[in-house]
A and B are shown apart, each in its own frame.
Chain A
Amino acid sequence: MQKITLTTILFFLVAFLFICQSGELNAEESTLTASQILEKCDDVINAPTDQDLRIKLILIDKKGKEKMREMSMLQKGNDKRMVKFLSPADQRGIAFLSLPDDIMYLYLPAFKKVRRIATHVKNTKFAGTDFTYEDMEAIRYSIKYVPELLKKEENHYVLQLKPREGVKTDYSKLVMWVRMDNFYPIKIEHYDKGDKLYKIMISKKIEKVNGYWVSKQYEMEDLKTEHKTRMMIVDVKFDSGLSDDKFTKRYLSR
């Protein structure tokens, strides 16, 4: 009979503990509800207290012709966002402010005026991109949508998000692929009011910057027009202490 050494016992003990722990983790993952997954997803996306981004947009038509846009974006928490266009020249200075409760303002330098935007523009394209004003709003998915776990893939959860009652949105539903390891959404399908798939957003180059997960490249494709917008984050700063004052009409026109 083979002699069982102390080393062997220790090896099996460690292996047993490891299996138990990973089993516990898997059990936790497998027991997560759709709401918990979406909450975690929101937490990951909105983890920084504030974000200061410089973004390059490439608009690609169905023939592959490209147009460039540049903008800066400030976000605080998950309900305040300010976007300013830096280029092209005919859009330079146009600024957009999104606040809680569907309050949105637009600053048009040519008119020297801050204009309140009505909610009907939410479903229109934001400066010719495939993102709508609604897509540009800063809001937690879990506040706007009721999630349902459709399936689990090897590395992803697949959630279906349907608008909560009373929420104004142009989408009948979203289908979202969420990474299991870090809860970052990698793909979102957008369905129109007729329940037809019409836009797909894919997050690429997902990296950890200053301890926060961030996608450095998004691509939104409009399947009807075969038009794409690639949004690339050129520069990013997190937790720089942006004050609430930055998200006011006062700063919008600066």
Chain B
Amino acid sequence: MKRRKIILASVCILLFCFSCILQAQESTDSGVNWGGYLQSDNRLRLKDGDFSWQEYRLDLKAEVSPSEKAHFYSELWIRSWGFSEVQNSSDLANKDKISPWNLDLREAYVDLYGFLLDNLDVRIGRQRIAWGTGDKLNPTDNLNPDDLEDIWDFGRHLASNGLKMSYYLGDYTFEAVYIPAFTPAVLPRGDWASALSPSMELPPGLTLKNLTDTITIPENSIKESSTVGVRVLKNFLDYDFSLSYVHGNDFFPLAKKIIFTPTDMPGDVDIASELVYPKRHVVGGDMAGTIYDVGIWAEAALFFPEKIMMTTDLTALGMGVHESTALDNEPYVKYVVGADYTFRNGIYINGQYLHGFIHERGKDNLEDYFMFGIEKKLFEDTLKPTISGGVEVKDFKDFKNNYALILSPEIAYYPVDNAEVIFGVRWIEGKVTTAFGRVKDNDELYIRVKYSF
């Protein structure tokens, strides 16, 4: 009975929303604005000359603003992706293997402005909700899952199907978000994934033969899979401040159980692991403003994670079952502080200090990152050389064994309006104890061509 009432209420709300849209559409002449871009992205490994990335992306955006009260937006990626995956003759009849491609609905939502109340805006649908004042790395941006498919595209997230309400009261903005279903983060493609996964330490004398895992996605229910978030924003003394709270699941999986099974070869083991997405509460705050013409921002998120115990089952090896803490429920803080400045000669500099990278969690597992970028536009903005990079430090006390350096000089050329050609190099150096140090052999050249329409 209760369920029927919920369904009936949902149908009524949906009908009401669509009637609002239709009513709005009738009020003015509606026209769809189309736009987008075509981008090719090719990367070449410096070590062996192999192509490591090939992506041809057609981005299509459609937008309609039939009235002052309604707005529709959608963005779709159509991608010809990677290299041929043909492995046998039967694959030659499969176009998806011959030339892999995919569709990615980045966003599709409807905005209803002044919905029920003059000061209330509602956004319904698949949407990106970007919180935080940091530059691309935002500890408080915890509503949409991270999309680390391209590990160098910092800040990219998947959109989520949900509802966002924004209420404006004087100088205050109140936001509330509800995302019913859980979507996990996208992990980096290919060998970049090793940046996020530290090597597994096995008991002495054992060698890993096969590794398999099963992932348990939170059950699709209000209690288990929903993400809720609230935020309040205010300008105070010419600085922008916000406070936020998010409750949901961590977007990165965590091993809850590991089972060791011996193989026919003495010393070789198969490992099967079970992964879960722990629940968490996140309280965040951020600010942005100016001090003596220098742009400054700061952002911090206090995480209250669910405690996850890990069971290591070695019974098949005659070593029993061990329990350890995979994730403690002790709160931890991730934060970022940054500044930027443009000199009179047009040189722009940007620097950030980040404590805790996107995938890092747990009080004792957060590393420090110093990121920077320098750029200047030349020749009437047709050329833009940039040098960006960063330093990762796992342990300041033993720096020389716990660091990684990233340096990426690139040059962007704008031959005509809407066209951009970027050529750059990514150079990584460091120790395998660090995230970027683990991919130090992946130095690469890249060339990206983009045309917007």
A and B held together in a complex = yes
Smallest CB–CB gap between A103 and chain B, Å?
6
Which size bracket describes the interface of B in this complex? 35 or more
Interface of chain B, helix or strand or loop or mixed?
strand
Q: Is the CB of A116 within 8 A of B295?
A: yes
The contact string, 1 if C-beta is below 8 Å from chain A, for chain B 272-313, is 000000000000000011100111110000000000000000
| B417 touches A (CB below 8 Å) | yes
Which one, B6-14, B206-214, B337-345, is touching chain A?
B337-345
Chain A nearest CB: distance from B342 CB in Å?
A: 5
Q: Contact check: which of A111, A119, A128, A193 meets B381 at CB < 8 Å?
A: A128
Taken together as a complex, chains A and B put the C-alpha atoms of A204 and B278 apart, in Å, by 65
| Chain B nearest CB, measured from A26 CB (Å) | 45
Residues 123-162 (chain A) with a chain B CB within 8 angstroms:
123-125, 128
Identify which of A102, A120, A170, A225 contacts B341 (C-beta below 8 A). Answer: A120
Pair B289/A89 contact, Cβ less than 8 Å: no
Q: How far is the CA of A124 from the CA of B452 in the complex (A)?
A: 24
Q: Is the beta-carbon distance between B294 and A118 smaller than 8 angstroms?
A: yes
Contact residue among A67, A118, A227 (Cβ-Cβ distance under 8 Å from B290): A118
Interface residues of B in 177-212 (CB under 8 A from A): none
Task: Tell me if B402 counts as interface (CB < 8 A to partner A).
Answer: no
- For the complex, give the distance between the alpha carbons of A117 and B420 in Å: 24
With contacts A90-B452, A248-B168 known, is A120 near B293, CB below 8 A? yes
Query: Is B251's CB within 8 Å of the partner chain A?
Result: no
Q: Mark B142-165, 1 if CB is under 8 A from A, else 0.
A: 000000000000010000000000
Kindly list chain B residues whose C-beta atoms are within 8 Å of the C-beta of A193. Answer: 344
B436 within 8 A of A: no
Q: Is B267 an interface residue (CB 8 A)?
A: no
Q: Which of A89, A118, A248 has the most CB of B within 10 A?
A: A118
Q: A89-B37, A120-B293 are in contact. List 16 more A-B contacts (CB 8 A).
A: A89-B35, A90-B37, A103-B235, A111-B130, A116-B297, A118-B294, A118-B295, A118-B341, A120-B340, A120-B342, A125-B381, A193-B344, A227-B380, A245-B168, A250-B121, A254-B113
Report which A residues bind B (CB closer than 8 A). Answer: 61, 67-68, 88-90, 92, 101-103, 111-113, 115-121, 123-125, 128, 168, 170, 193, 225, 227, 245, 248-250, 254
25 contacts between A and B (CB under 8 A): A67-B417, A68-B417, A88-B417, A88-B418, A89-B37, A90-B420, A90-B450, A92-B35, A101-B238, A102-B238, A111-B130, A112-B129, A112-B130, A116-B295, A116-B297, A120-B294, A120-B340, A121-B342, A124-B346, A125-B381, A168-B293, A170-B344, A250-B166, A250-B173, A254-B111
